[in-house]
Structure 1
């Protein structure tokens, strides 16, 4: 059972649980907790809820770990109402832990839920409850989840406010920093994203690839291709290897800034490394199209097909216009 619980084999965990019951043996709470955890990892929130409701019928009393596992399953599925109801049940018994609040906030944080107001209310509950229960305190996970919720819902000001408040309770970690920078990225607040990246050193936190990718993307979306390129280069100087997301963010920045020559060069370098995808090609095709470099746009589309990548609407649209507009002869890949 423990092996099933550590993975995502929730069907096997449930089958084993039912087999034990069919053999007239009474599964203990540990077995139920393990099965619920397996359901949580498999994103099966309804099955986890059914098991929770079954416990009183078999004369077992759920523990905090039981409730938290079910709340995590609800959070993974974006079932914020169910997660909040579990939190309320734990609060009524003074059993809620920081993980309980974190699961409820995470449930509100998913794009499917998008309940940033509820996330802030849960964070407020955590702050208030921690004042009357010394064993309870807001942790980095709860703050990070609340920041992510606000960022996903376009509330970057609230995300930044929570990040500032967090510093009075716990030391910010790289996850929280990434969450607030990503919130700025989603709202195209590139100056704030760059400022937060620069301030991370003051917290003794080393930025990772996720941090740089978010900041580069924020600058790119705003057409600040010089800043995107500078951050891309700083990322490499910091000993971090740019990934597909990094390259695509810079290419998009070049496209937005009408720098098709730089798009062309960076894409060629990516091809040498063998890590070019359809997003990179599409941005490059769009950049060449906008610059009226018809030949290059068509050549890039041909390269995309040669690499057996499925063109998206951007690449198809720009290429169709190119073939009906410009001269597409005598062009070669560098």
Structure 2
């Protein structure tokens, strides 16, 4: 509820209060706090919360990692999002399409379109099939950096691989062509 209301400071205080009492926060508590930080635009606080989890020997799961990647996307921190994705592999936390799509979005938001494409190409190495959201996110990265020719290539790749384009994806493609 606090995350919905952008009350990240209150969530932080609640979590610290829980830590000072006898009960220890769990992965759900930490993930909720990271989500609140993300909603409040506090990406660095979300990353600190992830570090605190490990210090307290609470193992982050895919959901908590994805919350941290979301915070990085909102904070325009593509490099930090990719570091979290790398940490997931290093700690043997199973990545998923959400992890990759959000990291691609973070790269696109921070104008690191080459990193967005590199991350997209890594999907096949980890046996994850891109979906229409992933393709839309990649096309949006192209749009933000005026790479319309690449956006057209992404759409053609998607059609070749039988992912179905939707209205959002077509609008992003049209917008990227109009930006050039």
TM bucket, shorter chain: over 0.9
After superposition, the CA RMSD in angstroms is 1.4
1:260 matched to 2:148? yes
8 Å Cα contact 1:172-1:203 kept in structure 2: no
1:145: how far off?
Answer: 0.5
Q: 1:178 aligns with which of 56, 62, 66?
A: 66
Determine if the alignment matches structure 1 residue 144 to structure 2 residue 31. yes
Q: Which runs of 5+ in 1 are unaligned?
A: 1-106, 131-135, 292-334
What CA deviation, in whole Å up to 9, does each residue of 1:94-135 have, x standing for no partner? Answer: xxxxxxxxxxxxx2112xx111011011101110112xxxxx
Give TM-score, length-normalised by structure 1. Answer: 0.51
Q: Matches of 2:16 and 2:117 in 1, distance apart? A: 40
Gaps of 5+ in 2: none
2:75 to 178, 184, 187: 187
1:1-334 matches, within 5 Å, as 107-110=1-4, 113-130=5-22, 136-169=23-56, 170-272=58-160, 273=162, 275-291=164-180
Number of residues of Structure 1 aligned to a counterpart in Structure 2: 178
- Displacement, 1:161? 0.9
Residue 251 of structure 1, CA deviation: 0.5
Per-residue CA distance 1:267-301 (angstroms, 9 max, x = gap): 1333452511122111111121222xxxxxxxxxx
Distance in structure 2 (CA, Å) of the matches to 1:138 and 1:283: 41
Question: Which protein, 1 or 2, shows the higher relative CO under an 8 Å CA cutoff with sep ≥ 6?
Answer: 2
Whole-angstrom CA distance in 1 between matches of 2:12 and 2:179: 43
Please state whether the residue corresponding to 2:48 is helix, strand or coil. helix
SS of the residue aligned with 1:198?
A: helix
